Amino acid sequence: MATVADIIVKKADGTTNITFTAIAGSAGDKSPAAWRSETSATFRGNRDVVTLVTQDNGSKTARRANAKAVMPVPRVVNTVETVADKVVGDLSIVVPNALTDAEINEKVEQMLNMFGSAAFRAAIKAGFAPN
């Protein structure tokens, strides 16, 4: 099992790094690990937060990973930081226990690369699936 640590990701410009600081490690199944971007807003409650929870599926034949990102968009209105709205993302992946590590590695990498592909990014930004 991995130890919670800060995660560095690229901003949309492809150059600038954003650090998501580890703020909580998981205490076990159904307990989230959490990260927060300490620089995404002045007020803590307005900052980007990402959580990851793992647990067995109902029949205990697989492990489920549920990730959630809540990313408020802060704006300064009359010198007061307010949240214009939030971009929220949910990701759920089920990985069967009856697969080899190599099979799991390959399928998870392909899946996450697909979700991060230019086509998926463009569709999500546009708000419409390709037709």
* pLDDT > 90 in the chain, percent: 98
pLDDT at 1 over 80: no
**What does the mean pLDDT of the chain come to?**
96
| pLDDT tens-place string over residues 63-90 | 999 999 999 999 999 999 999 999 999 9
d(Cα 86, Cα 71) in Å, to the nearest integer? 5
| pLDDT tens-place string over residues 10-40 | 999 999 999 999 999 999 999 999 999 999 9
Residue spans of beta strands (DSSP E) within the chain = 7-10, 17-24, 33-37, 49-56, 62-77, 80-96
Superfamily holding 7-97: MS2 Viral Coat Protein (3.30.380.10)
| Chain centre distance of CA 78 | 32
First-last CA distance in the chain:
41
pLDDT at 2: 84
pLDDT band at 104 (very low <50, low <70, confident <90, very high): very high
User: Hey, where are the domains in the chain?
Assistant: 7-97, 99-131
In contact, 55 and 76? CB cutoff 8 Å = no
pLDDT at 5: 96
